[in-house]
Structure 1
Amino acid sequence: MALVVAVGVAVGGAYAARRAAPDRPAAPGARAATARPAPPTDRPVVPTNGRAAGAITYPAGGTGTFRTATALGAVAGRGGRLLRYRVAVEQGIGNVDVERFAREVAVILADPRGWTGGGEWRLQRVGRDDRADFSVLLTTPVTRGRLCADPADHYTSCRNGDQVVINVARWVHGVPHFPDLADYRRYLLNHEVGHRLGRGHELCPRAGGPAPVMLQQTLNLHGCTPNAWPEVDGALLSGPSGQYDDPIPAEDPPAGDG
């Protein structure tokens, strides 16, 4: 959650999963077939709704190396400076398709309620070998501590120079006061990318109102209500500059065998 000095990370080793053929509806009047188990597939699934984390597993610390999404995405936003970003997942995090995770990141960052909605920024996802202005990294908690130059914190995420570091523990578990996991993930990504765009932490401007996305909602809402987006009702929502002195919770246990 804090702004820290940049450190390096090796990002490489592209990974792409096989895609399953889509289902097709039966012709009118056709007899229903007896249900049969779906064929096995090696394509893992990243859940996008609800608090259940599906099959995502991770150890406390991963390998420190990453597999990087390869696809080039469309430019999101109607005007402003263009920044290109790549997406990578740390080796050791299990059952995450890096290409699908990258698409989820791209959908969030392209939403008109996000940073590309106001005409100040355009964002484009690029592949492993393309020039990028920043990287979005899904990391284990220990690697998060190393990349964020804050080894004692295995709970939060951060922006460190040109690295947007997303702690897989928060991606899997969310936080207790943010009831919808999918919405929390949108907040988490928008908050850390907001730091890369030059924005600092903000305070709750009005009790009972939506929290600015740059409030440290992972730690506390301070009277505001959860909010995942920079823009609310068509306008950028900001609060007074500053941050609260909230304690960092204890880290979560690893999920599965990793």
Structure 2
Amino acid sequence: MPKTAARRAAVGAVLALAVVGAVTACEGQPVAAPAAGPVVVAIGDATSVPPPPAEQPVQAQQPPTQAQTVLITFPQTGSGQWMFTPGSDQVAGTQGRLMRYRIALETDIDGVGPAEFAKDIRTILGDPRGWTGGGEWRLQQVGPDDSADFTIYLATPASRDKLCGGTPDSYTSCRNGSNVVLNVARWANAVPNYGAPLALYRQYMVTHETGHRLGHGHELCPGAGKPAPVMEQQTLGLHGCVPNPWPFPDGRSYAGPSGEYNDPIPEGTS
């Protein structure tokens, strides 16, 4: 979707970059997060957002599908301005505590339509193999003006670093307080040698970071050849396990031993 069309499709609201909360849970090592609050600026139309400074975009091409090849482009450093998507009446899950979330995309990202992205997020979080599968949680996407328990951001690498707090790496995604931050570089490219389709990696990154917001810590591979627990840091290494994006892959809870590996974070942002 062209950038201007994407902006018109978004709700007219912009969020200045801020960090919310005091705990960061990333696929990198845990770090302390600075305390700050959000500054919300309402505007009449998302198309009135001033364009970011000119910068050579990073290009990432998704694997071709039967329908088309989608090109996602984004700068290393985005504007820090956000397009929020409308809410939905859909509630995922039938029992448990209701957690409401908002969805925001950084305005510099092209090739990711806000409506399509929001649908992808709802589909992943609404999958019965996901966090609603155990009956502990229900999940609902709400609009930018509604009360929410967390916000899911699709962010450029530098904005990822600001939202996540702590030591920047521009590579991983994270959860920082009520921010669930998805690095667009990972959404576009996944990670090398993951051994699974891009769609499965996206399911993993959304479910993993949302799992942190729901109170889950990192876990270890339970044995060579077994599915990786969704809370294993699969972006940094599988350690003999095979990719798995779900906490309830067969309708039953699946987890590994608590802990994390001292895997290095790759350099670069692609």
Assess if the C-alpha contact under 8 Å between 1:79 and 1:119 holds in 2: yes
Distance 2:126 2:92 in 1: 5
Assess if the C-alpha contact under 8 Å between 1:49 and 1:182 holds in 2: no
Q: Are 1:109 and 2:125 counterparts?
A: yes
Of 235, 242, 254, which aligns to 1:218?
Answer: 235
CA RMSD of superposed structures (Å):
2.3
- The C-alpha deviation readout for 1:170-212, integer Å capped at 9, x for no partner, is 0000012223100000000000000000000000011100000
Partner of 1:187: 204
Match for 2:220: what amino acid? L
Q: Which structure would you say has the larger Rg?
A: 1
The secondary structure found in structure 1 opposite 2:144 is coil
Distance 1:94 1:148 in 2: 22
Q: 1:234 to 1:137 in 2, by over 3 A?
A: same
Assess if the C-alpha contact under 8 Å between 2:62 and 2:188 holds in 1: no
Q: Can you give the 5+ residue segments of structure 2 that lack an aligned partner in the other structure?
A: 1-25, 48-60
Q: 1:8 to 1:180 in 2, by over 3 A?
A: farther
The secondary structure found in structure 2 opposite 1:236 is coil
Q: 1:53 to 1:171 in 2, by over 3 A?
A: farther
108-117 or 92-101, which deviates more: 92-101
Distance 1:200 1:69 in 2: 29
Distance 1:105 1:8 in 2: 25
Q: How does the TM-score come out when normalised to structure 2?
A: 0.77
Distance 1:134 1:150 in 2: 19
Matches within 5 A, 1:29-68: 54-68=70-84
Partner of 2:173: 157
Match for 1:186: what amino acid? Q
Q: Are 1:118 and 2:134 counterparts?
A: yes
Larger proportion of helix = 2
The secondary structure found in structure 2 opposite 1:108 is helix
Distance 1:139 1:8 in 2: 18
Assess if the C-alpha contact under 8 Å between 1:8 and 1:147 holds in 2: no
Q: 1:68 to 1:221 in 2, by over 3 A?
A: same
- The C-alpha deviation readout for 1:200-254, integer Å capped at 9, x for no partner, is 000001110000000000000001000011112211111110000000001234x
The secondary structure found in structure 2 opposite 1:56 is strand
Partner of 1:137: 153
Q: 1:110 to 1:158 in 2, by over 3 A?
A: same
Deviation at 1:146, TM superposition (A): 1.1
Q: 1:180 to 1:217 in 2, by over 3 A?
A: same
Match for 1:235: what amino acid? R
Partner of 1:27: none
Q: 1:114 to 1:7 in 2, by over 3 A?
A: farther
Of 93, 96, 100, which aligns to 1:77?
Answer: 93
Distance 2:36 2:244 in 1: 30
- The C-alpha deviation readout for 1:115-155, integer Å capped at 9, x for no partner, is 01110000000011111100000000001111111353010
Q: Can you give the 5+ residue segments of structure 1 that lack an aligned partner in the other structure?
A: 17-45, 254-258
Q: 1:53 to 1:221 in 2, by over 3 A?
A: farther
- The C-alpha deviation readout for 1:46-66, integer Å capped at 9, x for no partner, is 97976x972211000101110
Distance 2:191 2:91 in 1: 31
Assess if the C-alpha contact under 8 Å between 1:90 and 1:140 holds in 2: yes
Matches within 5 A, 1:2-21: 2=27, 3=30, 5=33, 7-10=36-39
Partner of 1:233: 250
Of 184, 194, 197, which aligns to 2:214?
Answer: 197
Assess if the C-alpha contact under 8 Å between 1:108 and 1:186 holds in 2: yes
Deviating 4+ runs (over 6 angstroms): 46-49
